[in-house]
Amino acid sequence: MAVVATKPYESLTQETAISLANELSLFSNEAQLVCEEIGDGNLNYVFRITDQASGKGIIIKQALPYAKVIGESWPLTLKRAKIEASALQKHGEYAVGLVPKVYATDENLAITVMEDLSHLEIVREGLIKGESYPKLSTDIGEYLALTLFNTSDFALHPFEKKALVVEFSNPELCKITEDLIFTDPFFDHETNDFEPALQAEVEAIWNNTLLKLEVAKLKRSFLTEAEALLHGDLHTGSIFASEEDTKVIDPEFAFYGPIGFDVGLFLGNLIVQSFTREGKQRDVIHSHIHNTWVTFSSKFSEFLEQSEFDLFNDVEGYDAFVLEKVFRDSLGFAGCELIRRTIGLAHVKDLDSIENQEKRILLKKQTLKAGELLIIRRKEIDSIDAVIELLGEIQQ
C-alpha cells in the first residue's frame, strides 16, 4: 500500500481525482479514465474512477472537514480518514476477503484509495428490494468474531492492545455516536426528526425513566469499555454483497469499545428489515438474525478456548460469562439503534421509503416498541430464538 504526502488539503473534483489516480500509477498509461462522484452518505465524497477500455476501477474516498448532511456549521476532524484506512487494514489482517483492499492513503488530502466494489450491491438497497444474500449472516458473523476477538485482550499482549487503543482514539466521531444513538432520541432535542403521528410514542420514550436508566447504562459501557477495535457504524448501508461475496466498508467511526456494539448495530438493522417484510420473506431475515449470532458466538467461543493471554479461559463457566455479556450488550445496543433510526437525526430508507403512510407509521411504532423491549428486557432474554419470538409478538 502506498502512503503519499502531497499538497495541503483541498476538496477533490472529478478532474483532480483522475489526476491523482494517474499520479499513483494505478492504471496503465493508455487508460481512458472517467470519474463519477457516487457518495450518498453523510460525511464524505466518494469517487469511482474507471478505465473505459478495460473496465478496471478504483474508489477514492475523501473525508470532508464538516458533516455533508449538515454543512460547514458542523465541523469534523479529517483524522477520521486515517483511522478508516488503518481500520480497514487492521481488520483486513484477520477478516481476509471481507473488507476492500486499500491501495493508497494520503493523510494531507484525507483520502483512501481502495478496491472498487461496484460489482456488488449495498446490502440495504438490496434488502429493500427483497434480496436474500444467502451468505450475508455467515460472512458478517465471521467478520465480527475475527475482528473483535483478534483486536481484544484475548488475542493481544496488553502493551500491543493498549497501543492500538491510543492509535484508534476517535473522540469527534464517538461524540456523534454518543449524542445521536445514546442521548438525543431519549430527550426533547432539536436534532430529533419524527413524523407527527409518532408524537405520543416519542413522548412516552422521553418520559420512560426505566428505559432512560438502561440507556444510560449502555452509554456508560460505550464510553468506558475498550474491549476491541470496533467498526463503529456497522449497518446494512456499510456492507456490499452479492450471493457469493460480502465486503464491509466505511469504518471511519472505528475505535476501541464494547464488543457487543458492532454485533448489536448489525442485528438492529436486520430487525428493521424484519418489520418491513412479510411471510417467507420475513423468515429469511429472521434466519439471518439467528445465524449472525450463532456464527459469531460459535467462532468467538472457539477463539476464546485458544487464547494464550487470558489464563481464565480454562475456568468452567468463564467463556459462557463472556458471551452472555456480549449477548446482553448486543440486544441493548440493537434497541438503541432501532429507536434512533426511527426518531433521531439519521433515519433508514427501509422505513422512510414506505409510501403508504398508515403502514409506515405502524411499522415505525413496532420498531420503537422492539427497541424499548430489547433495552429493558435484555437481561431476561436468554437466546437469539427468544429475540425472534419477541419480534413475532410485536408483529402480530
Q: What is the CATH number of the domain that holds 335?
A: 3.90.1200.10
The verdict on 188 and 68 lying in the same domain is: no
Q: Are residues 390 and 283 in the same domain?
A: yes
Q: Kindly provide the residue ranges of all beta strands, DSSP E only, lying in 32-188, ordered along the sequence.
A: 33-37, 44-51, 57-63, 66-67, 71-75, 102-106, 111-115, 121-122
Within 13 Å, how many C-alpha atoms sit on residue 313's CB side? 15
Mean pLDDT computed over every residue of the chain: 95
CA distances from 11 to 14, 16, 189 (A): 10, 9, 32
**Contact by Cβ (8 Å): 198, 371:** no
pLDDT above 70 (res 388): yes
Is pLDDT at 68 greater than 70 in this prediction? Answer: no
Over residues 164-178, the mean pLDDT reads: 97
Domain-terminating residue out of 115, 131, 161: 115
Count how many domains the chain has: 2
Q: Span 361-374, mean pLDDT? A: 98
pLDDT average, residue stretch 206-213: 98
Residue 314's φ and ψ, nearest 5 degrees, are -90, -5
pLDDT at position 258: 99
Q: How confident is the model at residue 303 (pLDDT cuts 50, 70, 90)?
A: very high
Of 59, 88, 115, which residue sits at a domain end? 115
In terms of domains, do 41 and 95 share one?
A: yes
Shared-domain flag, residues 317 and 243: yes
Instruction: Give the range of the structural domain holding residue 218, as residue numbers without chain letter.
Output: 121-395
- pLDDT-derived band at 254, boundaries 50, 70, 90: very high
In the sheet that holds 246-248, the strands lie side by side as: 121-122, 239-241, 246-248
Q: What's the confidence (pLDDT) of residue 75?
A: 86
Q: Please, are residues 387 and 381 in contact by the beta-carbon 8 Å criterion?
A: yes
Tell me, yes or no, whether 179 and 300 share the same domain: yes
What SS3 state is found at 44?
strand
Are both 372 and 301 inside the same structural domain? yes
pLDDT given at position 206:
98
Interval 370-374 mean pLDDT? 98
pLDDT at 104: 95
How would residue 6 be classed by pLDDT, with cut points 50, 70 and 90? Answer: low
How many residues are given for the chain?
A: 396
pLDDT exceeds 70 at position 381: yes
Do residues 79 and 228 both lie within one domain? no
